[in-house]
Amino acid sequence: MKISQLFGQTLRNAPADAQITSHQLLVRAGFIRQLGAGIFSYLPLAHRSMAKIENILREEMNAIGGQEMTMPVVHPADIWKETRRWYEIDAEMGRFRDRGGRDMALAMTHEEVIADLLRGEIQSYKQLPQLVYHIQTKWRDDPRPRAGLIRAREFTMKDSYSLDANWEGLEAQYRAHYQAYFNIFRRCGLAVIAVQSDVGMMGGKTAHEFMYLTPIGEDTIIICDGCDYTANRQVARFRKPAPAAEPPQALEKVATPGTTTIQDLAQFLGVPKSRTAKAVFCTATLARGQEEVDQLVLAVVRGDMAVNETKLANAIKAKSLRPATDDEIRSVGASPGYASPIDIQNAIVVVDDLIPQSPNLVAGANVEGQHLLNVNYGRDYQAAIVADIVVAEAGFSCPQCGAPIRAARGVEVGNIFQLGTRYSAAMGCTFADQDGQERPVLMGSYGIGVGRLLACIAEEHNDQYGLIWPITVAPYQVYLVTLPGNETAGGELYNTLQAAGIEVLYDDRNERAGVKFHDADLIGIPIRLTVSQRAQEAGGVESKLRHRAERTTIPQEKIVAHVQGQIAALQAKVVKTVREVPYPA
C-alpha cells in the first residue's frame, strides 16, 4: 500500500479527551476515529491489525476443536426473557421495539442464542461434545465509556461456547480454553495473568479473567507472590484473623458525640477499629418475578475492613446497589452515622462471616451521638445472610498460603466461564444420555474483546516516538521510505518486496525526510527500509528495526532475503513466549 493512497492520515496532536497512551497514539497514527462516546471507526491500518488478531483467535480456537459460525447482532427479547436476564440486566442492554411492537435487544453476548440453537440441534449424547465460536459485533451501553478502545460501547468480540454431556467434559474444554487464551495473548505480544473472577451477569459456577497488568486498569487484582493465588478484588478472599475468644459482656450505651466515622469513634473510645462494627446501608434493586423492587440492605463488617459491593450484591442476588439516602436510613429506625442492626425493621441484614466470631464490638445505638458497647451477634441481633462480604486489601494474608497479598491494576482482555446448566435448564436444552434419560447440556462461555486487545497491545508496545507493533499483529511488516530523488529505485524495491509476499507500507509522498521518519516511528511498523542517495552510494538500502536504534546498509541483491530473515526472527521471538501454563489447583 502506498501512503499517498492510504485512507487516514497521521496527526501531530491527539484529541483533548484522549487520556491514555494507546488512545492518543491510535488516533494520531491514523488507526481509529471516534464517532460518538465509546463508538469508533477502525481505519485501514487498524482493520489490518485486527484481522491478524482475529486470525490468531481462529487458529487457536480451531486447534482445540472450535467451529466458526456467525450469530445475529439483533435478538428477539423472548430468549432473554426465558433466562430472565431481560429483567436482571440494567440499562447497559440496548433495547428497542421493531415495527411490529416486539421487544428486541442488541447483542451484549450470545448465550441465549446458542441455547436457542442448541435445543433444536442437539438431541443425543452422541452429538456431544461441541465447540462453536464467532467473531461478532456487541453493544453494551456503558454509562462511562473511556480510554478509547479499552472501554467502548460498540466492540468486536470473539466468543466461543462449549457444549458437554457431563462436568468432566466441561472441565476439559474449560482447561483447553485456559491454555489457548495464554497462547493467543502471547502470540499477540501481550503478557497476561489469569485471575479468579466474579461470574457476574453471566452466571454459572467458575470464572477466570485474563488481565493485562497496567496502571491504567480499572480492575484491582489481588496477587500472592508466595503461591499461585490471584483474583479480581471483586471476589478475592483472604485469611481472616481469628479474634481472641472472650465471654459476652453486658450491653452498655455510651455518649459518643461527633463520631460519625469509624476513625472518629475508635479515637474517641481509645479502641482499635477491629473492635468496632461498621454499618453500611445500601438500596438494592432486586428482581421479583418480572418486576423490580428496591430494598434497603444493612451490611455489617468489622470496623477495620470495608464492604465489597460485588460480594454483597452476589450474596443477596441484587441487580444493582446504590448508597442509601439519610431519609431511607431513618425510615427503618436507624440514625445515619450511629446505625447498627439492633431492632432494625424492613431491611435485609447481611453480616460478614467474621462478625459472628468477633465478640463485644462497639456498634451504633441508632440514636444520634450514642453507641453501644459489647454488641454480640446472635445474642443482640440476627442476620438474614452471613457471608464473606469484605474487600481484600494489600497486606492481608493469602487464603491459600498465608503470605501477605499485594494489589495491582489491570485491564481485563478475556474471560472464561463454566456456565453449567444456567442457560440450558432455563431454555429446555436437553439431550438423551446413554440410558435414555433427558439431561440439560452443560455449557461454557469464553470471550475476548478484539478492539480492547488491540488497545492493550498499543498500550504495552510504544515509546516516546510512537507505536512499536509486534510483528504478528502489525498492519504491515515493512515501512519503506523513499527520500527525494530516489523515487525510481524506491518504486522498484516496493514492487520487488511485494512480489516476494512481503507486506509493505510504502511512503511515496513528496515530503521531507523528517516527516517520513516521524510518521514511520508513529505508525510503528516493525521493519523500516530507507532508499536514499547515501545508502545507494554505499551499495544498498538502509535497514532499521523499529525497536532498535542501529541502522545497517544491506546490499540491494540481498535485501529480500534480509527482510525475510528479520521477519522470521521477529516471529520466532514471539513464538518462544508460547508455552504450557499450569492450570491452578
| Span 84-119, pLDDT tens digits | 999 888 889 999 999 999 999 999 999 999 999 999
Summary mean pLDDT of the chain: 94
Average pLDDT over residues 567-575: 97
Q: At 89, is the secondary structure helix, strand, or coil?
A: coil
pLDDT of residue 320: 85
Does residue 318 or residue 360 have the better pLDDT?
A: 360
Is pLDDT above 70 for 200? no
**pLDDT digit string, tens, across residues 205-246:** 788 999 999 999 989 999 999 998 999 998 899 999 889 889
pLDDT for position 204 = 64
| CB contact set of 63 (below 8 Å; sequence gap of 6+) | 180
- Name the phi and psi angles at 335, rounded to 5: -120, 120
For residue 109, the model assigns a pLDDT of 95
351 touches 305 (CB < 8 A): no
The better pLDDT of the pair 242, 158 is held by 158
Give the three cell numbers for residue 23.
Answer: 488512545
Report the DSSP beta bridge partners of residue 505.
479
Q: Give the CATH fold of the 465-575 domain.
A: Rossmann fold (3.40.50)
Query: Nine-digit cell at 480?
Result: 519503506
Overall CATH class of domain 17-236+407-459: alpha beta
pLDDT of 523 strictly over 90: yes
Would you state the pLDDT for residue 287? Answer: 77
Domain residues of the chain, as ranges?
Answer: 17-236+407-459, 252-387, 465-575
| pLDDT for res 436 | 94
Phi first, then psi: what are they for 258, rounded to 5°?
A: 70, 25
Q: Are 204 and 422 contacting, i.e. CB atoms less than 8 angstroms apart? A: yes
Q: What is the DSSP letter of 184?
A: H
Residue 289 reports pLDDT greater than 60? yes
For residues 362 and 371, what is the distance between their CA atoms, to the nearest angstrom? Answer: 7
- Per-residue pLDDT, averaged over 2-22, amounts to 93
| Structure confidence at residue 253 as a pLDDT band (50, 70, 90) | very high
Percentage of the chain beyond pLDDT 70 is: 99
Instruction: Please determine, for residue 201, whether its predicted confidence score (pLDDT) is greater than 70.
Output: no
Can you list the alpha helix ranges (DSSP code H) found in 461-486?
none
Mean pLDDT for 153-175 is 97
Q: What is the pLDDT of residues 42-86, one digit of tens each?
A: 999 999 999 999 999 999 999 999 999 999 999 999 999 999 999
Matching CATH topology for 17-236+407-459 and 252-387? no
Average pLDDT of the residues in 163-174: 96
Identify the residue whose cell numbers are 499450569. Answer: 582
Q: What dotted CATH number matches 252-387?
A: 3.90.960.10
